[in-house]
Amino acid sequence: MKKENNSNNSSAIVPMADGEPAITLRDLTNKMADFAMERDWDQFHSPRNLLLALVCLFLASLLISSALMVFLGFFFKVGEVGELSEIFQWRGEVPRGLPGWDEKEKEHLGEELSDVLLYLVRLADICGVDLGVAALRKMEINARKYPVQYCKGSSKKRDHYSSENPTEEL
Ligand SMILES: Nc1ccn([C@H]2C[C@H](O)[C@@H](COP(=O)(O)OP(=O)(O)OP(=O)(O)O)O2)c(=O)n1
């Protein structure tokens, strides 16, 4: 778990020999941690809340896909995100660091998190999307969308701030 603001070192993406930026999972992890810390959002990023954010996005993507996908997704197989959710089912709020979880449970969690990540990485690859570049770009959009001065300590959605900050471009 990351506790300190790493903005001085984590944002430096080391270029590879061919000039392409080498974005590591560690870079993305640190940048997201910095993003949350700057906005005092650690308080909202509990395991349960993050999982719900993931599941809501997953269901939203099903809703905008074909009716058949919605049918399959809801009634037959929820997929890897469903398996990940199952681990947290009935546990209520889970504190950061998962105190009380044994190694086997943490290992299982690691496997299900990896399944989500690996499918995502594979999907991006076969779609021709450079996930590292796309994620960095999206983080820049997020930072513009949620300026620290408007949303520090608040979990409200962007719509709430737009009236206070009408000129902010997304
Ligand atoms: N409390 C929050 C809110 C947002 N984010 C980050 C993670 C996601 O990359 C992105 C999600 O932002 P939105 O919830 O605004 O979702 P979208 O960007 O998809 O916009 P919308 O839901 O309006 O389509 O911002 C975060 O880390 N913590």
Task: Report whether 39 contacts 152 (CB < 8 A).
Answer: yes
Ligand 1: residue whose CA is nearest its atom 17: 142
The answer, yes or no, to whether any atom of ligand 1 lies below 6 A from the CB of 54, is no
Question: Which atom of ligand 1 sits closest to the CA of residue 145?
Answer: 15
DSSP category for residue 65: S
Nearest alpha-carbon partner for 96 in 55, 53, 48, 54 = 48
Task: Report whether 58 contacts 86 (CB < 8 A).
Answer: no
pLDDT for res 15:
56
Q: Best of 142, 168, 170 to mutate for ligand 1, by most ligand atoms within 8 A of CB?
A: 142
- ipTM score assigned to the predicted complex: 0.92
pLDDT in tens, 83-131: 999 999 999 889 999 999 999 999 999 999 999 999 899 999 988 899 9
The residue whose two tokens read 């506790």 is 3
pLDDT in tens, 5-52: 444 444 455 555 566 666 788 898 999 999 999 999 999 999 988 988
